[in-house]
Amino acid sequence: MTFTTAEIMDSILDFLALGGPVVAVLLAMSLVALALILLKLWQFRRAGVGHHADIIAALDLWDRGAVQPATQRAAQGRNHLAPLTVLALTAANAQDAAPDALRARLTGLAEAATLRLQSGFRALDSIAQVAPLLGLFGTVLGMITAFQSLQDAGAAVDPSALAGGIWVALLTTAVGLGVAMPTALVLTWFESRVMREAQLAMQIIDVSLCSGLAQECPLGVPANRAAVAQHA
């Protein structure tokens, strides 16, 4: 069974008329959320999020004292942290800055990289939180309208009309939850990916500085490939 464009548009307009302005707002929010999700997926793919193999291999070479191969391997990485890795290894090898100053500089760069990946998260979080509340607000308005109609009917109450008004009112809650739940799930997945990137960035800084500047590694900081891989 096929539908023409006109029939699809009529169905959408009927649905919007049935749910009222609240459903229209929720549908607009769903389109914004979808656009943000697609944009973040494209950004993550372009940044090479999750592609840690080259960086981990570079840190392994660095731990074994192969400075030049480690830097070259890091430069080949597809991950957005590859430039940070090259900078950390090069600066640690040159020892041209105080350890604390170098750590502060690298930490700032790592935080900036993390913030770029987190752009748009606040908007997705707002949609996930506001959509069910907006749906509930539409339900309350619909219930008020339904009971006003019941009062106006007086003794000639039609139970079917009342039931119809109630399910139309509950429609906004269903739409609100339908927008909020997938948005919240996708946002949680995005946040977990960014958290792993942030952990890897900190490991890059710790491993390069511990080895390159002959510092004692802080407790719990891995200085080999196997330990870094567990955190990546």
pLDDT digits (tens, 9 = 90+) for 189-212: 999 999 999 999 999 998 888 754
- What are residue 155's phi and psi, to 5 degrees? -75, -25
Torsion angle (degrees, nearest 10) of CA 138, 144, 147, 151 = -150
Q: What pLDDT is stored for residue 232 in this prediction?
A: 42
Asked if residues 63 and 211 have their Cβ atoms less than 8 Å apart, the reply is: yes
Model confidence at 154, pLDDT cuts 50, 70, 90, reads: low
Q: What pLDDT is stored for residue 130 in this prediction?
A: 95
pLDDT for 165 beyond 60: yes
What pTM was computed for the model? 0.78
Q: What pLDDT is stored for residue 222 in this prediction?
A: 44
Q: What pLDDT is stored for residue 66 in this prediction?
A: 86
Q: What pLDDT is stored for residue 215 in this prediction?
A: 47
Which region, left, alpha or beta, applies to residue 214 given φ > 0 means left and ψ of -120 to 50 means alpha? left
Provide mean pLDDT across the span 12-25. 68
Residue for token digits 């491993």?
207
Kindly report, residue by residue over 56-105, the tens digit of the pLDDT.
Answer: 999 999 888 888 999 999 999 899 999 999 999 988 888 766 778 888 99
Q: What pLDDT is stored for residue 10 in this prediction?
A: 53
Convert 162-176 to b/e letters by CB count within 10 Å (16 or more is b): eeebeebbbbbbebb
Asked if residues 86 and 113 have their Cβ atoms less than 8 Å apart, the reply is: no
Asked if residues 26 and 130 have their Cβ atoms less than 8 Å apart, the reply is: no
Give the SS3 label for residue 136. Answer: helix
